Structure 1
Amino acid sequence: MTALTVQLGDYPHTRPLKAGTIPVEGVTCRFTETAPLHRAFARMVRDLEFDVCELALATYLQAREAGVPITLLPVVLIGGTHHGSLTRLPDGPALAPADLAGRRVGVRAYSQTTGLWVRGILREEYGLESSDVTWVTTEEPHVRQYREPAYVTRSSAGRVADLLRDGDVAAAVLGPRAIGGQGEGLVPVIQDADAAARAYVERHGFVPANHVVVVRDDVLRAAPGAVRALYHALTEAIDATAAGRDDSPAGRAVAAGWSEELAGCLALASRYALEQELVRSPIDVGAIEKETDLLR
């Protein structure tokens, strides 16, 4: 029986695999736990520590460009809309997205996927280029080979929300979990953020993905049947838990299998990444799809 070391977050759609209620046929899975989860991403793209690993979408795009030997599995574990992720102090001065030109904005890492989507929104809907802002970060990129643009700087502050509350930045990008944690009490910079997010999803035809799944290339070559079995079990778990997910963007984002929505999401994220200097060369989404043929 093939053994795989697997790092996945704790979600309703991953628990059946971890509990063994949905078996991975012919495979012994050793599930590891990392808290916070994003700490595992650098360990994967720098040291290939896991056979299969959940990974932030922006990290995957950067790792692919850097030649890290991993392959995408067409699975979205979490996603959502991000018009509400750009936040400000509730009692601060009035601030519109266009007002951020020439100002400082906090984000955990410049390569954080939430920041990728927020900066894409700012350019697409408000004409604000990434280089118009100084991005103040608290963490380095996961991909060791990546070099940040000149308009990115590092802070010694522990948390992004602290940058905002200390007056070091005018606004802060916070992921969905941080909104209800360190971001408690902050408000969106974008007015009517929910309505703007609904219009964005309708316009593009998909909910933005945040975390996907990757496999080491050597594992895929050596044990394609085991990787297929894990992929099919994860697909089954996502299907089996569908009734428990609400119709929110986050609920609709969870999906398995190649689709027009996933292709569109990867294409737009790739374009945003190139515009923002997260990658320096175009990404071939068709080539990514072809790499997943072994899973069919």
Structure 2
Amino acid sequence: MSETHPTAPLTVLLGDYPHTRPLKDGTVAVEGVGCQYLESSPLPPAFARMVRDLAYDICELPMATYLQARDAGIPLTLLPAVLVGSTHHRSLTRLPQDPEIGPGDLVGRRVGVRAYGQTTGLWVRGWMQEEYGVMSSDVTWVTTEDVHVAQYVNPPYVERSGAERVVDLLRSRDVSAAVLGPKAIGGQGAGLVPLVEDAESAGLAWTERHGTVPANHLLVVRDDVLRTRPDSVLNFYRALNKAIADTAGERDDSPAGRAVTAGWSASLAACLEIAGRYALEQGLIREPVDVGAIEEKTAFLDR
């Protein structure tokens, strides 16, 4: 990492979504600031580079990675924007030919997940404890990748597998169920069956109960960039806010559509509070999350 010169372009890493494309293609300009939009396909390696090497000025980052980075003292600040989100009751899956089991049947069993620090896993384990009484330590979590934050050490009930994909753990019968993120559900997870009956309704009930939609990907800025170039960060945030507003018609009223937002709100605060509580319960972080302190650092963006 090197200090960003006040007139240098901001290096920005964003996924490719309808609400980020206007920034990338210049349809929505960032006033007075040049931006170098970098790409990573797939995205997860870029998340690791951000929290390990501070590789970008501004970067999309998963919720769990952000919470773990903050807990580890990595100098990043949350910008109030949700780029990806949805409910995750359909994310806990099994092979269609396997015996029918529910989330409560997973106590003492093995469950596959890309990494213990994957955000989808954070949300799934959260509702499993909340709705079925299954704690993280009741399950052996079998992973195919390391967590993004290098300082974190997995708890003893997490096991690393040599498999390349989570679905391979299911097919080899190494696990009874698997947690798959939104993209994987339509990819490697095609044809898998949710353990939760009527998973969509269960997810909607969660959002109604909590007054928020689970956020998967947020946005962070390096602390040194926020400190030395606050106006540049503000102008970038305003442009992103406009891009999100301008593309509102491209999103439906599903949880995934409603999750995409910019600005501090009661919904975002609730989302951070719940995710922080889940992360603490699951041993992903060591200290409770102070949402007020997080908001205070960038409250000026919405003034």
TM-score where L is the length of structure 1 = 0.99
Pairwise CA RMSD = 0.7
In 2, Cα distance between equivalents of 1:198 and 1:78: 17
1:51 and 2:88 matched: no
Residue equivalent to 2:229 = 223
Q: Which residue of 1 aligns with 2:183?
A: 177
Q: Distance in 1 between matches of 2:211 and 2:65?
A: 23
Partner of 1:74, secondary structure, is strand
Q: Is the 8 A contact 1:57 1:209 kept in 2?
A: yes
Residue from 194, 203, 207 that aligns with 2:209: 203
Offset, 1:2: 4.3
Unaligned 5+ runs, structure 2: 1-6
Superposed CA offset, 1:149-171 (max 9, x none): 11001000000000001100000
Q: Which amino acid aligns with 1:260?
A: A
Deviations 1:227-250 (A, max 9, x none): 000000000000000011111110
Three-state SS of the structure 1 residue aligned to 2:150 is: coil
Aligned residues: 296
The alpha carbon displacement at 1:212 in A equals: 0.2
Shift of residue 293, structure 1, vs aligned partner: 2.5
Tell me which residue corresponds to 2:172.
166
Q: Distance in 1 between matches of 2:44 and 2:256?
A: 18
Q: CA deviation at 1:145?
A: 0.5
Q: 2:10 aligns with which of 4, 18, 26?
A: 4
Matched residue, 1:25 = 31
Residue 295 of structure 1: how far off its partner (Å): 2.1
Aligned with residue 196 of structure 2, among 187, 190, 197: 190
Q: Gapped runs of 5+ residues in structure 1? A: none
- Give the residue type in structure 2 aligned to 1:219: V
Q: Could you tell me which amino acid in structure 1 is paired with residue 271 of structure 2? A: C
SS in 1 for 2:9: strand
Q: 2:100 is paired with a residue of what secondary structure?
A: coil
Residue 274 of structure 2 is aligned to residue 268 of structure 1: yes
- Post-superposition CA distance 1:134-158 (Å, at most 9, x none): 0000000100101111100100000
**Per-residue deviation, residues 191-214 of structure 1 (Å, max 9, x unmatched):** 110111111111111110000000
The answer to whether structure 1 residue 34 and structure 2 residue 40 are counterparts is yes
Kindly indicate whether the alpha-carbon contact (under 8 Å) linking 1:2 and 1:26 is maintained by their aligned counterparts in 2.
Answer: no
Which residue does the alignment assign to 1:104? 110
Asked whether the 8 Å contact 2:59–2:221 carries over to 1, the reply is yes
Distance 2:128 2:282 in 1: 11
Pairwise CA distance, 1:61: 0.2
Instruction: Name the amino acid aligned to 1:7.
Output: L
Identity across the alignment (%): 67
- 8 A contact 2:110–2:176 mirrored in 1: yes
In structure 2, give the amino acid aligned to 1:220: L
Tell me which residue corresponds to 2:96: 90
Q: Is residue 113 of structure 1 aligned with residue 119 of structure 2?
A: yes
User: CA separation in 1, counterparts of 2:128 and 2:138?
Assistant: 11
Provide TM-score, normalisation by structure 2.
0.97
Q: What letter matches 1:4 in structure 2?
A: L
